[in-house]
């Protein structure tokens, strides 16, 4: 058994939800790190649950989809650019205006997961490092928030292929 | 309401089985399979990948993209978009336990994640702009190299660390964690941090370009180059994927490259598979599973390469 596989095994055991309540830290863990861990603990599983529920809604046809699931095989072999041109699906945050459709409602769970890091940085880590007057890490957190916000904003253009 | 649901379900089955659209889309895949067979098979495949990934000590993303990209009819754009969501969900779910045990350390992960996440945006933009065949070839080469890396890389549980450099000192990178084998807390720090940071530029690019979780690259750099103990390297690597993959995932999502019908069964399958894999770890033969994974990667890498070359 390689060292990395062994380390993965032990870290996987630490990461397993059933073990999380038993993982009593025997070392000093910074409070902001614990707070961030708790945010991820509750919100990541909530996001994954949201994905599963919205997907069931999509498959059940409870909300009519923008593109019926049965027609997706005509599109999933296209590039993302061709898909957008063929279907007229929105880019960027345009999907927020399409939440009445069963397929677009799935993006809520994905966006929730993708927003967690930004929220955690902004609400927990930045105030914590500012309180500690840890300018280096406060700066890293601010720049990371800007980078992630830029990525999330949808302003970054991608050329078609 | 129940009647309405049953009616809609009946309509869906009708549409799937007998409508002209269903026939057309079945023909579109060129396999004769009904549309719903693909997400169902994807769910099962990802469930198995989740088990195998945990047992072999690799991230699910590195298996997902080459295998699904090579054997399913989905365009690589959507596979990479789903791969990022898979890696993101896995990293977010693993994060709490690792952070609480101090195996994922914010002082190590935050600066590294900033570099990797910035360049994963660049990688995502380049990846979505490149012609598919070029991308397929590059993915094939990358996956084959990852398989070779897995064969030859020898990590070190407690690497020898020299005098910390000025960046390490300025950022006060270090910490302690409880080591059960020693029965005590182990203090650690790192060195050669600027060189490590530089390599995370490339790691971020590759993660964004191919939609791969980059644990396979993070761990050797953190462990062998920067000297972080193996458990810290593995734990911090898993956690920092939640940040690296977030930025690339947004680029893919904003460009319409995340299809729920591909992404959601993949995430659910891998997450359930990972939970089962953790339970099965005790009775597993990790050396065999690891060889199996290397074989799978080599096969998928070569297939991707050939597909890109038009064979």
Q: What is the distance between the alpha carbons of residues B78 and B261, in angstroms, rounded to a whole number? A: 10
Residue B133: CB atoms within 10 Å: 14
Q: Looking at the complex, does the CB of residue B228 fall below 8 Å from at least one CB of chain A?
A: no
Residue A111 pLDDT > 70, yes or no?
yes
Range of the domain at B284: 37-308
- The pLDDT assigned to B281 comes to 66
For residue A5, list chain B residues with Cβ-Cβ distance below 8 A.
Answer: 56-57, 286-287, 290
Of residues A4, A17, A152, nearest to B234 (C-beta): A4
Q: Which residues in chain B have their CB less than 8 angstroms from residue A68's CB?
A: 15, 21
Query: Which of B9, B97, B248 is facing A20, going by the closest CB pair?
Result: B97
Assign B119 to helix, strand or coil.
Answer: helix
Segment among A15-19, B77-81, B105-109 with least mean pLDDT: A15-19
CA B122 to mean position of chain CA atoms: 18
Interface predicted TM-score (ipTM) of this complex, two decimals: 0.84
Residues of B in contact with A10 (CB under 8 A): 231
What residues does each domain of chain A span? 32-153
Angle at CA B7, nearest 5°, toward B2 and B8?
Answer: 100
Q: Is B188 near chain A, with CB under 8 Å?
A: no
Q: Spell out which residues of chain A touch residue B12, defining contact as CB-CB under 8 Å.
A: 61, 69-70
Residue with tokens 């054997």: B71
* Spatial contact of B88 and A37, defined as CB atoms under 8 Å apart: no
Predicted confidence at residue B300, as pLDDT, reads 85
Verify whether the Cβ–Cβ distance A34 to B100 is below 8 Å. yes
Query: Does A17 score more than 50 pLDDT?
Result: no
B5 domain residue, yes or no:
no
CB contact under 8 A, B106 and A32: yes
B259 pLDDT band (50/70/90 cuts)?
A: very high
Q: Is residue B6 part of a domain?
A: no
Residue B149, chain A, CB below 8 Å: the answer is no
Of B8, B56, B250, the CB nearest to A151: B250
Position B194 scores a pLDDT of 96
| Predicted pLDDT at A159 | 62
Let me know if residue B2 belongs to a domain: no
- With beta carbons less than 8 A apart as the criterion, state whether B215 and A117 touch: no
DSSP string, B98-117: HHHTTSS-HHHHHHHHHHHH
Rounded to an integer, what distance in angstroms lies between the CA atom of residue A115 and that of residue A94? 17
| Residue A99 with chain B: CB contacts under 8 Å | none
Give the mean pLDDT of chain B: 84
Residue B223 has, within 13 A of its CA and on its CB side, a CA count of 25
Token look-up 């799978």 returns B296
Calculate the CA dihedral of residues B5, B9, B12, B18 and round it to 10 degrees: -140
Query: Does residue B73 have a pLDDT over 90?
Result: yes
SS3 B184: strand
Q: Do B15 and A103 touch (CB under 8 A)?
A: no
Distance between CA atoms of residues B295 and A139, nearest Å: 44
List of chain B residues whose C-beta atoms are within 8 Å of the C-beta of residue A15: 93-98, 238
Query: What's the whole-number mean pLDDT along residues B82-88?
Result: 92
Tell me: pLDDT of B302 over 70: yes
How far is B256 from B264, CA to CA, in rounded Å? 15
Confidence of residue A158 (pLDDT cuts 50, 70, 90): low
User: Does B303 score more than 90 pLDDT?
Assistant: no
| Predicted pLDDT at B6 | 45
With an 8 Å Cβ cutoff, are A76 and B74 in contact?
yes
| Residue-level pLDDT at B254 | 93
CB contact under 8 A, B261 and A4: no
pLDDT of residue B284: 65
Contact criterion met (CB < 8 Å) for A148 and B260: no
When CB atoms are compared, the residue of A60, A68, A89 closest to B15 is: A68
Whether the per-residue pLDDT at B25 is higher than 80: the answer is: no
Element (H, E) at B162: none
Structural domains of chain B, count: 1
Size of interface A-B (CB pairs under 8 A): 326
Structure tokens at B76: 């690589």
Place of tokens 């080459």: B66
Look at B212 and B142; give whichever has higher pLDDT. B142
Q: How confident is the model at residue A14 (pLDDT cuts 50, 70, 90)?
A: low
Q: What is the mean pLDDT of chain A?
A: 85
What is the spatial distance between Cα B136 and Cα A112, in angstroms, rounded to a whole number? 30
Write the pLDDT tens digit of every residue in B32-56.
788 899 999 999 999 998 888 877 7
DSSP A98-133: GTTSTTGGGHHHHHHHHHHHHHHIIIIIHHHHHHTT
Which chain A residue lies closest to B16 (C-alpha atoms)?
A70
Q: Give the pLDDT band of residue B9 (cuts 50, 70, 90).
A: very low
Q: What angle do CA B260, B264, B267 make, to 5 degrees?
A: 145
Position B112 scores a pLDDT of: 96
N-term to C-term CA, chain A: 43
Task: Extract the tokens encoding B44.
Answer: 């099962």
β-bridge pairing B184-189 and B174-179: antiparallel
Full-model pTM: 0.85
Q: Do B129 and A161 touch (CB under 8 A)?
A: yes
In chain B, % helix, strand, coil (3-state, to 5) comes to: 75, 5, 20
Residue B209 forms part of a structural domain: yes
User: In percent, how much of chain B has pLDDT > 90?
Assistant: 38
């Amino acid at each position: 058994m390689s060292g990395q596989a062994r380390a993965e095994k032990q870290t996987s055991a630490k990461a397993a939800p059933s073990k999380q309540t038993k993982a009593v830290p025997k070392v000093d863990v910074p409070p902001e790190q614990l707070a961030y861990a708790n945010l991820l603990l509750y919100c990541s599983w909530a996001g994954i649950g949201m994905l599963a529920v919205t997907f069931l809604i999509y498959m059940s046809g409870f909300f009519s989809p923008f593109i019926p699931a049965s027609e997706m095989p005509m599109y999933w072999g296209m590039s993302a650019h061709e898909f957008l041109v063929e279907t007229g699906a929105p880019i960027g945050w345009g999907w927020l205006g399409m939440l009445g459709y069963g397929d677009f409602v799935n993006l809520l769970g994905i966006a929730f997961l993708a927003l967690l890091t930004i929220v955690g940085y902004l609400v927990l880590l930045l105030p914590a490092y500012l309180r500690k007057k840890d300018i280096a890490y406060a700066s890293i957190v601010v720049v990371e928030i800007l980078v992630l916000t830029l990525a999330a904003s949808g302003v970054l253009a991608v050329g078609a292929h | 309401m129940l009647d309405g649901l049953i009616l809609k379900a009946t309509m869906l089955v009708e549409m799937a089985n007998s409508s002209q659209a269903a026939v057309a889309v079945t023909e579109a895949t060129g396999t004769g399979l009904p549309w719903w067979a693909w997400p169902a098979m994807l769910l099962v495949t990802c469930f198995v990948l989740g088990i195998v990934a945990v047992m072999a000590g690799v991230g699910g993303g590195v298996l997902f993209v080459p295998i699904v990209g090579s054997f399913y009819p989905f365009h690589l754009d959507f596979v990479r978009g789903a791969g990022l969501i898979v890696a993101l969900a896995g990293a977010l779910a693993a994060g709490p336990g690792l952070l609480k045990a101090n195996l994922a350390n914010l002082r190590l992960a935050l600066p590294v994640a900033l570099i990797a996440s910035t360049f994963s945006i660049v990688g995502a933009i380049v990846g979505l702009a490149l012609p598919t065949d070029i991308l397929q070839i590059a993915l094939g080469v990358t996956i084959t190299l990852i398989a070779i890396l897995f064969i030859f890389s020898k990590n070190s549980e407690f690497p020898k660390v020299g005098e910390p450099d000025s960046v390490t000192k300025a950022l006060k990178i270090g910490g302690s964690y409880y080591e059960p084998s020693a029965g005590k807390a182990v203090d650690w720090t790192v060195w050669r941090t600027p060189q490590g940071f530089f390599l995370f530029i490339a790691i971020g690019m590759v993660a964004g370009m191919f939609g791969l979780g980059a644990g396979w690259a993070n761990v050797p750099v953190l462990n062998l180059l920067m000297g972080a103990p193996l458990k810290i390297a593995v734990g911090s690597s898993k956690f920092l994927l939640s940040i690296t993959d977030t930025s690339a995932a947004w680029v893919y999502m904003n460009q319409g490259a995340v299809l729920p019908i591909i992404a959601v069964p993949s995430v659910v399958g891998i997450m359930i598979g990972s939970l089962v894999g953790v339970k099965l770890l005790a009775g597993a033969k990790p050396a065999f599973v690891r060889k199996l994974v290397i074989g799978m990667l080599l096969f998928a890498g070569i297939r991707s390469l050939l597909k890109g070359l038009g064979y």
